[in-house]
Amino acid sequence: METPKINNSAFRKLSGQQGLLIGLGVGIVLTVGGMTVFSHFGNQRSAAPTQDAPVANARNAALPVKVQQVGTSTTEESSDFVGALEAQQKVTLQPQIQGRIEAILVSSGQRVQKGTPIASLSLDQTQANVASSIAAASAAQAGLKTAQAQLQQAQAQRTKVAANVQLQQTQFNRTQQLVSEGALATQQLDVARNNLQTAIADLQAADKQVAAADAGVRQAQSNVRAAQASTAAAQVNVNQKRVVAPITGIVGEFPVKVGDYVNTGQTITTITQNDALDLNLSVPSNRLKQLRVGLPVQLIDPTIQKVIGTGAINYISPNVSSTQQSILSKARFANSQGRLRDGQYVQARIIWNRQPGILIPTVAISRIGGQSFVFVTENRTVNGKPQQIVHQRLVRLGEIQGTNYQVLDGLKPGETIVTSGILKLREGTPIQPQS
């Protein structure tokens, strides 16, 4: 069969039609400038030679390029979303009583600890009420001490009277014995009986005094408790005049200023705890089978496409939104460096699956006719000398992961590809790998 001869313009025209010939798996032999070129389109190693591809021979100067050996990496199946961050704890500070703001003790944006005073209201009459209650409590304590002293005195007197009753009882018994023996006159027994009855009457009076003193102590104790309760109530009013931080966090803006009169329930400021944030995501319901607690989630910087935070799904709503056909899911992220904010919209990526695969740099990809190609290196001997050349290989790509593409078909681990200067390369171009 006679070899066809065409000029360069015809060669270029034919090269532009090579995409049609790829699927046919045919070979074309061309004679250009006295050299015969064989291009095989049915083999992926030479699936789409670029236009005006130079012939690989010893006379071609080797192009310096960077190369990379293809290895096995971890590939991911993922989906990108946009979601809003939500602080785990956020409180609005409001006064419990009305009054005029006397002082604002912190600044907006300041980090405060739980219990830190934030603002104070004018104390005016409330402070006077506290002082009066404290004075009343002190008086009640003094009254209690007096009542306790009177009780002790009454108890001592009763003890003395009770001892006299015992003495008179002994005297009466002895006198009665002597009178019965005739040693004493009956008149002496009458005297002893009278003395005993008088002592018993004194004991009864002493018992009444002890009871009265004990009642006085109980009353004094009640007075003390009432005074203490009044003081505590007054102190509560003082504490309510001071607004303190109920949680640790960042102070928000102050819509009020010193001198403003505020009512109960009026907002003074907010405190937000940004140490950990929840990301709200609306996941399409067709992902329900893959969605589960613990799935890794990444926060992506949309400018540089770098991962700026990692978390995991920790909540999945039991309901599907009827309007959007999506499922509300949440992922928690630590925020120790404070780069994230409550209410911030961020780009997030849910990692559905991880498995071994091939990743290659995006800069190694060239595209022709909507298809993707890489240059694979091959060692040859030309005029007795070793020489590396490149072959253009069709590849099928998966998802992009950062600065790499996942390769689904067309490359094997251990092969070497070119990662720089691919615009200068053609099928069979000799190369000089650079470090």
In this predicted structure, what is the pLDDT of residue 15?
Answer: 38
> pLDDT-derived band of residue 424, with 50, 70 and 90 as boundaries?
very high
Given this model, what pLDDT does residue 149 score?
Answer: 93
Confidence of residue 126 (pLDDT cuts 50, 70, 90): low
Q: Is the pLDDT of residue 335 over 90?
A: no
* Residue with the larger pLDDT of the pair 118 and 384: 118
Strand 306-320 versus strand 261-262 pairing type? unpaired
Q: Which of 33, 17, 63, 30 is nearest to 428 (CA)?
A: 63
Cα angle 258, 259, 262 (rounded to 5 degrees) comes to 95
Q: Which CATH class is domain 77-87+273-354?
A: mainly beta
**What's the CATH architecture for 43-73+357-434?**
Beta Barrel (2.40)
| pLDDT at res. 171 | 92
Nearest to 393 by CA among 353, 421, 365: 365
Residue 173 has pLDDT above 90, yes or no: yes
Residue 100 pLDDT level (bands cut at 50, 70, 90): confident
Contact call for residues 340 and 274 (beta carbons, < 8 A): yes
Predicted pLDDT of residue 52: 43
Categorize the per-residue pLDDT at 21 as very low, low, confident or very high, splitting at 50, 70 and 90: very low
Exposure string over 333-346, b if 16+ CB within 10 A, otherwise e: bebeeeebebeeeb
- The model scores a pTM over 0.85: no
What tokens does 268 get? 């003074």
Give Rg (Cα) of the chain.
Answer: 50
Confidence grade of residue 135 (pLDDT, cut at 50, 70, 90): confident
| pLDDT tens digits, one per residue of 181-229 | 888 888 888 899 999 999 999 999 999 999 999 999 999 999 888 888 8
Q: pLDDT by residue (tens digit) across 255-284?
A: 999 999 888 889 999 999 888 889 999 999
pLDDT higher than 90, residue 230: no
Give the pairing of strands 63-69 and 430-434. Answer: parallel
Of residues 290, 304, 276, 296, the one with CA closest to residue 402: 304
